[in-house]
Structure 1
């Protein structure tokens, strides 16, 4: 049986990006149909089991959208209500798992509950329709426009007609159905200009994926699972180990429950989702640890290029790999005290992942098909090496920000890992917009990155920001009767960016001027127009220091940016004869006059805040 639904925006894929896109599209007035291949929304944060969020050091105060911050706070509120614990013992924000890889570790079901609660009002109003357990199988494209997409599952087919379509699947499953140009794996060095790219393209070199699982430890009990089929082969080929190799080649040995011999924290607490003693000091509440480790990363075959029959085999072997790693932990891992091998008290917890076999509902996907976009992000745009500024390469069309190492796990045909430092970066709007069709947007890991730069753009807060920007953009285009490529290519991009800023989506890195700060929007606008091009003190730090004077070394760039915000192509009036003096009130006042702004309240020397106050008529 086939039924038909009509909406403004169809979002195919209930990933974290898909959820963010649906939420923002609905809040911006669009009707939405959101499909999901499992019965849990949230992708890597829920159905894929990675509910230990991969974030950056500033995440509690800057570097995320307002909606992502609210998502994180709602998770904490769940645990505050449940256990009556408001914060960590040292006063830090609550981390239910107290894991050392993340500032927020939690049970996947809690993430699902929060997402459902966030979307509930839109479902109740009829603005949002959710279709679970469905995957895309067909699309109708007329010319340069998608007219409908058919999804199947739950015993039926549903054809969704819409004006805009967002691919928020973790593997970019919609792209081949709609004829969008896409790439996979590693591009060649000649193509991208990336030093670490191979000389020739390797389309099958896709990062490994992982079936995560959760366990608790019950000392004195035996919860050893049956030995998985092919255990010895999988164990030896991986191989299973708690000793990792650092980028400099040095071994990094971990122990299971104790600090390692070189001071590394316990493997057990790496991605712990629930810390029993945090909520019950008496010890009656057990820990829950999630296992997502190099040893159960499956990088022996590519899901994207596989036939349906091959995919069944690949997924089965990947599941057996994870179960084999659990069996190794139960029977063969060296015990911390040297007394023997294995911890049979490790008990698999199927209820945590919501599955019968105890593995995550879906594999944790690190790399997708990637659109050939209007703008592509390369490794050289974001890597820290060779840069003297505090931020990565500036992009004029930013639709968000992110920061994470360029983290690549072993890939098909390439067992090497990569973990290279990057600088805080932006998300280019053009990276979300494919060359065709005109009414398609990428809303997940499928944006216009390379194999290398994808390693920084695939993490939780960045994916959420990508989805949020895509949902807002689709609704904004819908209301104005334009296509995304028209927004990107013309003057509309600044109008759209202002729309994002009004919804507390940071577009530039300004850690001491977050959303909600009275100078947030003028500061963001100045940076978008190149205020840091002068490489002054503010270009060398992520903090803007709004109460500090504008330095003469940066004054030309800052005042030129102010004039651009005012719509003027004039140059700032700065006296070259005073090059060794602080920037004067008179020099700034001369520029404000050109911009048609008042100098009332301007200090001497003028501060960044003074300029923001002077810009108020432009806002």
Structure 2
């Protein structure tokens, strides 16, 4: 008798696969959510003689998020006949099927070579209200998406750029995170266009802000004088500069920007995406977007599940990756914390205390359950030092430098230092709050239902508001008092009614199963030295013949939803291999954000602003090259002549392919 042996989610938070077994024969019934209120719709049943569930040649346990609570309500997309790896049959249907029918259908597939009854005939998709076509569709308007669009536009292509919020710019703007960069950023280690973006931001301040003479003359102008970055700036300024870079192409008609649009479906045939359907989140209007190539520059890797592109989430095991800092056991749900950032200024003598957040009592008492242990309550100035994991006391003083010998959190991500501007420009400094104290650990944005995802975002917002309320009312001061009631929430700087950033700061997304996966042995200093036998102070990162850029940042994993404390250790200045941007099977979708072929560990140094920009720029240039040469991205990597020619186009653009020998 066939029996249910497990479930998995391999299309993010909106799709579920149920696995059944009869002897050594396995079958799967797949469902997708569309919307939650509708009955389920059977997507496919797979039958094959294998000793374990295998999909597309990849072990489902290592690729797909396991879940037993997914709601099986959904809509059919593309399901094609598969014959490899024991999956000898595929059945498709677009007819609504309720949960009780799922068992009957899947059991039939597991029991024999079962054919769908005649009443489960395919029907036509409903007519769309419109459509657009271009040379490239870029899904996600973050830094990678903007860079990809610009590179393609500069090559003369027509580009469609979609963005789920009403701001482009990703982590630099909508997420309110100043750029985390390496110490050489002012001279090298980034693309020429990324440095031009930084220069344009500084020029914007010089043209439009009343800077002091000293700051106006500063070559490396840093308006916020924050300690986290050499360029701490207001999100609106970065947005204005990015909009200006895109403006001539929008006016010229070669760039279509669809704000507040999210992808909801894809048309796929034989590993090629023919179109992506997006929905306007305000009007509900849907569009079909078609192009020869697609870029997934979304913050969470939204295009991967829709297109059937294989992906990984969470933490791989040490056995899978061979990494020193990998987990003992794989856990797709063990993902880095995300953070809802916000901006505040400080007006001495003013009472700007917000209403007490509804979850304040919970977060005030919350102690993270981590291993190694967190030193106490999350809302406290003591935290785990990322590298040593020992308790470390921080400072917080919005009126000065803070206590000697301690990091003053007020200065850490300060984006406007009042002393950088002429007197009277600002009432006080402005700082962005993205600290360990508002890292949200209780759930994920990937691998959960849409309802659960929204619940986690709402709770993360409550955590951030609770942190602000605690700073206003309870944080210890050096004078023995408590609280800074003059802290004022600056929602006007992020253009939201609740005062919080438009989108959570995402550290980890779905990651493609790539032709090449970057592992710790490639760029982790200690493992690299161990495997090469070289001195840790002299060893260099792995060199890739298919390099498309460079980056540098220590491997920095924040505490995770699976209960891990910080994982923070030195890395080496690294290259970006083209193979990490190429999905194993999908031919015309290229990632350009945190969704490239890294691991849970190496994502910790590939997720930062300049690397994301480099990914997008090289992806856009790659697809322009492919259109000119009438080839696919995979062909470029496989052909030494094409690869060399493509790399020359990158160098001509100012993309650095290697670090200096010194």
> Where on the TM-score scale, by shorter chain, does this alignment land: which range?
0.7 to 0.9
C-alpha distance in 2, partners of 1:282/1:111?
Answer: 23
Cα deviation digits, residues 63-97 of structure 1 (max 9, x gap): 11111111101110111112244764994510011
The structure in which a higher percent of residues are helix is 1
C-alpha distance in 1, partners of 2:142/2:483?
Answer: 36
Task: Say which is worse superposed, 107-116 or 77-86, in terms of deviation.
Answer: 77-86
The number of residue pairs the alignment matches comes to 510
C-alpha distance in 2, partners of 1:162/1:209?
Answer: 33
C-alpha distance in 1, partners of 2:233/2:391?
Answer: 30
Does the Cα contact within 8 Å between 1:96 and 1:273 map onto a contact in 2? yes
Cα deviation digits, residues 395-423 of structure 1 (max 9, x gap): 11110000001000011122401221111
The equivalent of 2:382 in structure 1 is 243
C-alpha distance in 2, partners of 1:468/1:252?
Answer: 39
Does the Cα contact within 8 Å between 1:139 and 1:177 map onto a contact in 2? yes
Shift of 1:473: 0.4
Shift of 1:330: 0.5
1:265 aligned to which of 387, 407, 415: 407
The equivalent of 2:393 in structure 1 is 253
The equivalent of 2:556 in structure 1 is 407
2:655 aligned to which of 490, 505, 508: 505
2:572 aligned to which of 412, 417, 423: 423
C-alpha distance in 2, partners of 1:336/1:3?
Answer: 61
The equivalent of 1:332 in structure 2 is 474
1:364 aligned to which of 467, 481, 505: 505
TM-score between the two structures when normalised by the length of structure 1: 0.80
What residue ranges of structure 2 are gaps of 5+ in the alignment?
1-127, 368-377
Shift of 1:454: 0.1
Task: Say which is worse superposed, 231-240 or 172-181, in terms of deviation.
Answer: 231-240
The equivalent of 1:527 in structure 2 is none
Does the Cα contact within 8 Å between 1:14 and 1:168 map onto a contact in 2? yes
The equivalent of 1:562 in structure 2 is none
The equivalent of 1:467 in structure 2 is 616
Task: Say which is worse superposed, 415-424 or 19-28, in terms of deviation.
Answer: 415-424
C-alpha distance in 1, partners of 2:287/2:556?
Answer: 38
| Alignment of 1:71 onto 2:197 | yes
C-alpha distance in 1, partners of 2:649/2:214?
Answer: 34
Q: Secondary structure at the match of 1:83?
A: coil
Matches within 5 A, 1:483-502: 483-491=632-640, 492-502=642-652
Q: What's the C-alpha RMSD, in Å, of the aligned pairs? A: 1.6
Q: Secondary structure at the match of 2:130?
A: strand
The equivalent of 1:158 in structure 2 is 287
Does the Cα contact within 8 Å between 2:389 and 2:566 map onto a contact in 1? no
C-alpha distance in 2, partners of 1:98/1:254?
Answer: 19
The equivalent of 1:443 in structure 2 is 592
Q: Secondary structure at the match of 2:617?
A: helix
1:35 aligned to which of 133, 140, 162: 162
| Alignment of 1:224 onto 2:353 | yes
Matches within 5 A, 1:14-413: 14-50=141-177, 52-81=178-207, 82-85=209-212, 88=215, 91=218, 93-153=220-280, 154-155=282-283, 156-238=285-367, 239-246=378-385, 247-257=387-397, 258-259=400-401, 261=403, 263-281=405-423, 285-338=427-480, 340-385=481-526, 386=529, 387-388=534-535, 389=538, 391-413=540-562
C-alpha distance in 2, partners of 1:113/1:396?
Answer: 37
Does the Cα contact within 8 Å between 2:266 and 2:276 map onto a contact in 1? yes
**Residues 11 and 282 from structure 1, CA distance in 2 versus in 1: closer, same or farther, beyond 3 angstroms?**
closer
C-alpha distance in 2, partners of 1:85/1:169?
Answer: 38
Q: Secondary structure at the match of 1:436?
A: coil
**Residues 474 and 237 from structure 1, CA distance in 2 versus in 1: closer, same or farther, beyond 3 angstroms?**
same
Does the Cα contact within 8 Å between 1:97 and 1:274 map onto a contact in 2? yes
Runs of 4+ in 1 over 6 A off after TM superposition: none
C-alpha distance in 1, partners of 2:416/2:401?
Answer: 19
C-alpha distance in 2, partners of 1:282/1:354?
Answer: 23
Shift of 1:218: 0.8
Cα deviation digits, residues 124-147 of structure 1 (max 9, x gap): 111110000010000000112100
Does the Cα contact within 8 Å between 1:148 and 1:160 map onto a contact in 2? yes
C-alpha distance in 2, partners of 1:260/1:422?
Answer: 31
Shift of 1:284: 5.2
Shift of 1:263: 1.1
Does the Cα contact within 8 Å between 1:188 and 1:200 map onto a contact in 2? yes
TM-score between the two structures when normalised by the length of structure 2: 0.75
**Residues 282 and 145 from structure 1, CA distance in 2 versus in 1: closer, same or farther, beyond 3 angstroms?**
closer
Q: Secondary structure at the match of 1:141?
A: strand
Q: Secondary structure at the match of 1:399?
A: strand
Does the Cα contact within 8 Å between 1:79 and 1:85 map onto a contact in 2? no
**Residues 217 and 459 from structure 1, CA distance in 2 versus in 1: closer, same or farther, beyond 3 angstroms?**
same
